[in-house]
Amino acid sequence: MTTGTPRPPLRSRSWFGDGGKNGFIARHHLRAMGRGGHNFDGLPVIGICNSFSELTPCNGHLRPIAEAVKRGVLQAGGFPLEFPAMSLGEPFLRPTSMLYRNLAAMEIEEQIRANPLDAVVLLTGCDKTTPAALMGAASAGVPAIVFTGGPMLNGRFRGRAVGSGTDIWRMTEELRAGTVTQEEFTEFESSLNRSAGHCMTMGTASTMACLAEALGMMLPGASGLPAVDARRGTLAEETGMRAVELAGSELTPARIMTRAAFENAVRINAAIGGSTNAVVHLLAVAGRLGVPLTLDDFDRLGAELPLLVDLMPSGRFLMEEFAYAGGLPALIDSVRDHLDPGAVTVTGRTLLDNCAGARVHDPAVIRPLTDPVLPAGTGTAVVRGNLAPDGAVIKQSAAEPRLLRHTGPALVFDALEDYLAVAEDPDLDITADTVLIVRNTGPKGYPGMPEVGNLPLPKKLLDAGVRDMVRVSDARMSGTAFGACVLHVAPEAAVGGPLALVRTGDPVRLDVPARTLDVLVGEEELARRRAAWRPPAPVAGRGWTRLYTEHVTQADTGADLDFLVGSTDSTPPRQAF
């Protein structure tokens, strides 16, 4: 028990505790599964929300992890009940897994609320599964612990370590440039993913695992251990045991994910060189809880810590090295003076207490504050201007520094496909100074705000040896990607944001040190263009896509659905019979 106050009655008692017909109905079907007797005598019921799916390879190993969680629940005197969650796999889902993040979050929320659960363990892994679980758990208001499946082992290709995503982008560009053969590319494909787990760079999955831990929603050390490390099974057991202790307590997600916890997470995101996707996901989770987190917090709080973790795509190593170097607890302990000491976690202790004494075992991987990978203020920056009045983000550490202050002529495409159709054209009218703009790739416009903001470079420039250029879009980019990519432009073009008004040839100025992004066109001309602007035809869609496009918010507030923001409710729905 984590507080001195008496626990409220377990939620599950309103299902199983009734001696009459309703209790009978709730219990007798579980008896058909061999669960009976003492299970209904007041044991805490622990839901194990499993995002296992063979359509989500990163989560394909979660079944044995669920079994380990169950062992822990049983050892601690709980009653485990596993249930499936909608699973979101990056490799397959079209048009983008982000279109379905809010759907998965809704499904998780409703399943938790509608069922006889006293606490929940959320098994996640691939990029969107962790934020969806955090969002759903936040809204459901029942005590919850996240447990991610862990990263893959390092890729190994011809004697060197290779990282998910990051090396795919590199090798693809080299294949297009003709410096890598198709044979090498195929060999690389079979060398990259050597075990179960999610991407092992500091991409979005690793970032969100680390931030779930930094928020206090995971047991210490659970974010970094490789998926196949036996210690992960032990941690899964401990997670199940802890869930039993949490059942019926007041330590709900809202009590853990406070403003202080989000501030810590934003600072840690800077120190790990986390994905730009963390911005939109943390804003969405905070929005569910009514925590006042803003886009500018990422710039301001993120600038308080330098980049300390030397992982791809910003650095050299991979999650294996991070875990063996001490992982997140060691990092947190090394920057404890910069974190809010009051943030409480699922352990019932503070984040700093959890990590007290954790040691850095390899200072080349987790660098000391006195010798950072990059200085403070060089992480995710928020830029604004007449092209992005509500903000846009750029990951400075992933861009060639010379491009962080750049003015060049725009080359504008209204659709991603329009650009891809000419990207290989050797006569494309483009130079290394061009600012490449693709619009209508935002939450409503695509729809779903896909990871296309790291637009492939035009073949003409690749052949000339160019490996980075300024790209601007209302899309996202993979957390494993790199480049001078201005992302998440808000408002997006499809709702009439100024990105819709730029024309090919307009000078565009990016000044990251000054935090600005502007098209250098007079106000009168922009007003004329605005008057002539017509919204694109609504995205054809039915069912979820229609609901999503009608209600999704802009990137600067998390791209959640407007009617899901700002309230939680753990009350069991009324009994219908």
Binding residues for ligand FES, per CB under 6 A?
Answer: 58, 90-91, 126-127, 164, 198-199, 203, 205
Q: Report residue 32 CA to chain centroid gap.
A: 39
Exposure pattern of 232-258 as b/e (b: 16+ CB <10 Å)?
bbebbbbbbbbbbbbbbbebbbbbbbb
Pick the closer one to ligand FES by CB: 117 or 319. 319
CA 540 vs CA 316, 413, 446: distances in Å: 43, 20, 10
Q: How far is the CB of 201 from ligand FES (least distance, A)?
A: 8
H/E element, 473: strand 471-473
Task: Name the amino acid, one letter, at 232.
Answer: R
DSSP 150-199: -BPPPEEETTEEE-TTHHHHHHHHHHHHTSS-HHHHHHHHHHH--SSSB-
CB-nearer residue toward ligand FES: 213 or 297: 213
In the complex, minimum distance from the CB of residue 58 to ligand FES, in angstroms, rounded to a whole number: 3
DSSP three-state, residue 390: strand
Position of tokens 């990105």? 499
Supply φ then ψ for residue 319, to 5 degrees. -60, -30
Amino acid at 445: G
| Smallest separation (angstroms) from ligand FES to the CB of 43 | 35
Residue number, 203 or 408, with CB nearest to ligand FES = 203
Per-residue burial over 119-153, b = 16 or more CB atoms within 10 Å of its CB, e = otherwise: bbbbbbbbbbbbbbbbbbbbbbbbbbbbbbbbbbb
User: Which of 2, 51 has the CB closer to ligand FES?
Assistant: 51
Whole-angstrom CA distances from 448 to 176, 322, 474 are 28, 32, 11
Give me 22's structure tokens. 């309703």
Nearest to ligand FES of 126, 493 (CB atom): 126
Residue closer to ligand FES by CB (options 228, 466) is 228
CB of 282 to ligand FES, least distance (A): 17
* Nearest distance from C-beta of residue 438 to ligand FES, angstroms: 22
- Give the span between the Cα atoms of 17 and 540, in whole angstroms: 48
Q: Cα(532)–Cα(300) distance, rounded to whole angstroms?
A: 37
Give me the least distance between CB of 53 and ligand FES, in Å please: 11
Least distance from ligand FES to the Cβ atom of residue 268, Å:
19
Query: 50 or 252: whose CB is closer to ligand FES?
Result: 50
Comparing CB distances to ligand FES, the nearer of 199 and 225 is 199
Q: Smallest gap, in angstroms, from Cβ of residue 127 to ligand FES? A: 5
Between 259-272 and 204-215, two packed helices, what is the crossing angle to 10 degrees? 140
- Min dist. Cβ of residue 68 to ligand FES (A): 21
Angle between helices 204-215 and 129-140 in degrees, nearest 10:
30
Q: Measured from the CB of residue 371, what is the shortest distance to ligand FES in angstroms?
A: 30
Of 201 and 345, which has the nearer Cβ to ligand FES? Answer: 201
What is the nearest approach in angstroms of ligand FES to the Cβ of residue 288?
A: 23
Which of 79/322 has CB closer to ligand FES?
A: 322
- The 3-class secondary structure across 402-460, one letter per residue, is HHHEEEEEEEEECCHHHHHCCCCCCCCCCCCCCEEEECCCCCCCCCCCCECCCCCCCHH
At 73, list the tokens.
């629940």
Task: Say if residues 125 and 197 touch (Cβ distance below 8 Å).
Answer: yes
**Rounded to the nearest whole angstrom, what is the least distance from the CB of residue 23 to ligand FES in the complex?**
42
- Short-list 128, 125, 124, CA closest to 102: 128
SS3 140: helix
Instruction: CB nearer to ligand FES: give 127 or 213.
Output: 127
CB closer to ligand FES, 142 vs 152: 152
Q: Indicate the residue among 126 and 146 with the shorter CB distance to ligand FES.
A: 126
Q: Closest distance between ligand FES and the C-beta of residue 164, in Å?
A: 6
CA distance 457 to 179: 15
